[in-house]
Amino acid sequence: MRYVGPVYRPPSEADSYLLQVTIGCSHNECTYCAMYRHKDFAARPLPEVLADVEAAGRAYPETRRVFLMDGDAMTLATSRLVPVLDALGRAFPALARVGSYVNAISVLRKSDAELASLRERKLSIGYLGLETGDPVTAARIVKGATVEEEVEAVRRAQAAGLKMSVMVLLGVAGRARWREHAEATADALSRMDPRFVSCLCVTPVPGTPFAAEVERGDVVLPSPEETLDELRVIVERVRLSGAVFRANHASNWLPIGGRLPSDRDRLLATIDAARRGEVPLVPEEWRGL
């Protein structure tokens, strides 16, 4: 398989065939993100992508899951995505699902009919980084979409039949706005009502504007215990009709997970026990960052 530069995928796509259809991220300005900073955004030439799919079909015909990379495959025109998805269907007879990171603006640029035609071709899960529901924080971290646009994008993708997995960044608002961040994030998630929610802890990556803000003291990161307070507000306040809720990424100080709303009391009890010091947090040196 041919890849340009380092590639990234969500943990749940560990067993998927990774197909690079774009290089980099069409936005590439979120202040905390270092993933594609060194890559100029470009669409990979279609013949090259189709040749990769054919080769993968010969090598791994049993493939059931495919993840489209890099940062936002959905930014490609539907007329460009359709031949790729059709080729995947031909190459992998048992294909069950195709996933991609999605950017809210790219989703909103597509019509309902376009979203439905992608879903018919098995594009069935999208991973969207909400990060925060607080408009002030969203503007500060240069998300490139308003909270309203993020909510609408998730709702429209879900209406077309895609399952949406939404990511949230604990600590990204710093100590100064932690409560506004937590409450507004819970409210935005409630309006999105996605099938999957993942809470990660923000990590200042050297070389990013966010790391520079932390270094200057413009943003003061919460302590591990304070990130639990944020998590608690989100878990207590969010209203979801039925979602898998995870805060067990390598960046989390207290790995927890369950279903919401059914596991709310258990999740809150675990957070409270950790806050009282009865459940140990992950030691700094064990965090897989």
112-120 and 78-91 helices, crossing angle to 10°: 10
* Of 12-20, 24-32, 115-123, 257-265: span binding ligand SF4 (CB under 6 A): 24-32
Select 25 or 267, whichever has its Cβ closest to ligand SF4. Answer: 25
User: Which among 8, 76, 67 has a CA at the least distance from the CA of 37?
Assistant: 8
- Rounded to the nearest whole angstrom, what is the least distance from the CB of residue 256 to ligand SF4 in the complex? 24
Place of tokens 């294909």: 95
Nearer to ligand SF4, 18 or 82 (CB): 18
245 vs 260: CA distance, rounded Å? 6
Q: Which of 10, 99, 126, 129 binds ligand SF4 (CB under 6 A)?
A: 129
Tokens read off for 242: 């039925």
Q: Which of 16, 20, 28, 251 binds ligand SF4 (CB under 6 A)?
A: 28
Which one, 46 or 205, has the nearer CB to ligand SF4?
205
* Count of residues engaged in binding ligand SF4, rule: CB under 6 A: 11
- Tokens of residue 7, six digits: 């590639």
Give one word for 266, left, alpha or beta, with left for phi > 0 and alpha for psi -120 to 50.
Answer: alpha
Contact present, 231 and 255 (Cβ < 8 Å): no
The residue among 202 and 254 lying less far from ligand SF4, judged by its C-beta, is 202
25 binds ligand SF4 (CB under 6 A): yes
Which range binds ligand SF4 by CB under 6 A, 26-34, 195-203, 222-230, 243-251?
A: 26-34
> Residue 132 or 270: which CB sits closer to ligand SF4?
132
Return the structure tokens found at 288: 């897989």
Q: Which is nearer to ligand SF4, 103 or 137 (CB)?
A: 103
Q: Which is nearer to ligand SF4, 147 or 281 (CB)?
A: 147
Helices (H), the chain: 46-59, 78-91, 104-108, 112-120, 135-140, 147-159, 178-192, 209-216, 224-237, 264-275
Could you give the C-alpha distances from 275 to 42, 225, 231, 281, in angstroms and in order?
46, 6, 11, 9
| 103 or 198: CB nearest ligand SF4 | 103
Q: Which of residues 64-83 bind ligand SF4 (CB under 6 A)?
A: 71
| The one among 19, 33, 234, 238 contacting ligand SF4 by CB under 6 A | 33
Stretch near ligand SF4 under the rule CB under 6 A, chosen from 31-39, 74-82, 119-127, 236-244: 31-39
Under rule CB under 6 A, residue 35 binds ligand SF4: yes
Distance CA 234, CA 117 (A): 34
Nearest-5° Cα angle at 236, 103 to 248? 55
Task: Give, for 25, the enclosing helix (H) or strand (E).
Answer: none
State the minimum distance, in angstroms, from the CB of residue 232 to ligand SF4: 25
Among 21, 30, 157, 240, binds ligand SF4 (CB under 6 A): 30
Give the residues lining the site for ligand SF4 (CB under 6 A): 25, 27-30, 33, 35-36, 71, 103, 129
